[in-house]
């Protein structure tokens, strides 16, 4: 995801948890990278925006959606940048359920070995995946922080809804290792009937539910 297309100096953003693409699309539209008309054709014939983002669209730097791919791609991109002496950071957002993919840990193991430093991973740790609570499905997986550090990364856990805390945490990295931000979040944050209810991983709201959600979100933003 780039603010200015085609510039080598720009940072890279990969949404490895590609199912969150709508959030990425609206940000890209806000930045003027994606046209508003494209959003209107989301998942429709003639449009280019799918439930999972496709490489080649403005601002989309990798095809994601199958979980566990983004970090490996990012390590390769970071290696190319290092060898070509291009100073740009790569940000990769993953889900906590995604960390169950072995490929993530292959990439996690490799990044510090290759001396990658300009790589920032973000784990959206909402403790939910399709079938229930992540911490119940794999209780020994928690805490995540120590496991990431054990793989040679710097890692900090913060409130994932606090933009300022996220910024400060990422900026606090020493720059000598890859950096992982463990962002504690609430699934469905801001919509009372969605918060921490796993079915909203899949469901689309009815017109009435939609209106209620918009009302709640707008009142909390006001």
Partner 1 sequence: MRNTFANAFYEIAKRDPRLFLVVADISPVASAAAFQKEYPERFVNVGVAEQVMVGVAAGLALRGCIPFAYTIATFTIYRPFEQVRVDCCYQNLPVRLVGIGGGVTYSTLGGTHHTQEDIAIMSAVPNMSIIAPCDPAETIAATHACIQVPGPVYLRLGKAGEPDLTSQAPEPFQFGKIRFIKKGRDACIISYGPITKMGVDLAQKFEEATGRSMAVVSAHTLKPLDREGIGSILSSYPLVVILEEHSCVGGLGAQVKQIAWDVRASCKLKAFSLQDKFIHFYGSQRELWAAHGLDEDLILSELENS
| Binding piece for partner 1, criterion CB under 8 A, among 68-76, 181-189, 191-199, 200-208 | 68-76
107 binding partner 1? (CB under 8 A): yes
Instruction: Give whichever of 88 and 184 is closer to partner 1, judged by the CB atom.
Output: 88
One of 17, 33, 59, 69 touching partner 1 (CB under 8 A)? 69
84 binding partner 1? (CB under 8 A): yes
95 binding partner 1? (CB under 8 A): no
Residues touching partner 1: how many (CB under 8 A)? Answer: 30
98 binding partner 1? (CB under 8 A): no
150 binding partner 1? (CB under 8 A): no
5 binding partner 1? (CB under 8 A): no
Contact 124, 160 (CB under 8 A): yes
Distance CA 57, CA 172 (A): 32
Distance CA 136, CA 129 (A): 10
In our burial notation (b when 16+ CB lie closer than 10 A, e otherwise), range 202-216 reads eeeeeeeeeebbeee
Residues in the chain: 222
Contact 153, 147 (CB under 8 A): no
Instruction: Give whichever of 147 and 184 is closer to partner 1, judged by the CB atom.
Output: 147
Distance CA 17, CA 130 (A): 13
One of 26, 80, 150, 214 touching partner 1 (CB under 8 A)? 80
Beta strands in 101-173 (DSSP E): 119-125, 128-129, 132-133, 154-159
72 binding partner 1? (CB under 8 A): yes
One of 102, 139, 175, 207 touching partner 1 (CB under 8 A)? 102
Contact 215, 190 (CB under 8 A): no
188 binding partner 1? (CB under 8 A): no
Residues that bind partner 1 (CB under 8 A): 55-56, 61-63, 66, 68-69, 71-84, 102-103, 106-107, 109-110, 113-114
């Amino acid at each position: 995801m780039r603010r200015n297309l085609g510039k080598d100096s720009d940072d890279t953003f990969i949404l490895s948890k590609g199912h969150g693409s709508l959030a990425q699309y609206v940000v890209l539209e806000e930045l003027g990278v994606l046209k508003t008309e494209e959003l209107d054709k989301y998942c429709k014939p003639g449009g280019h925006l799918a439930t999972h983002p496709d490489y080649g669209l403005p601002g989309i730097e990798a095809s994601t959606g199958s979980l566990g791919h983004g970090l490996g791609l990012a390590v390769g991109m970071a290696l190319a940048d290092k060898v070509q002496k291009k100073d740009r950071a790569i940000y990769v957002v993953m889900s906590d359920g995604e960390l169950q993919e072995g490929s993530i840990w292959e990439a996690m193991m490799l990044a510090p070995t290759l001396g990658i430093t300009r790589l920032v991973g973000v784990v959206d740790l909402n403790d939910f995946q399709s079938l229930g609570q992540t911490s119940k499905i794999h209780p020994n997986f928690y805490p995540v922080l120590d496991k990431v550090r054990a793989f040679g990364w710097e890692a900090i856990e913060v409130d994932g809804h606090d933009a300022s805390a996220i910024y400060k945490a990422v900026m606090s990295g020493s720059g000598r290792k890859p950096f992982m931000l463990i962002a504690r979040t609430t699934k469905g944050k801001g919509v009372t009937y969605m918060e921490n209810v796993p079915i909203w991983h899949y469901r689309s709201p009815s017109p009435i539910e939609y209106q209620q959600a918009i009302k709640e979100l707008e009142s909390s933003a006001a």
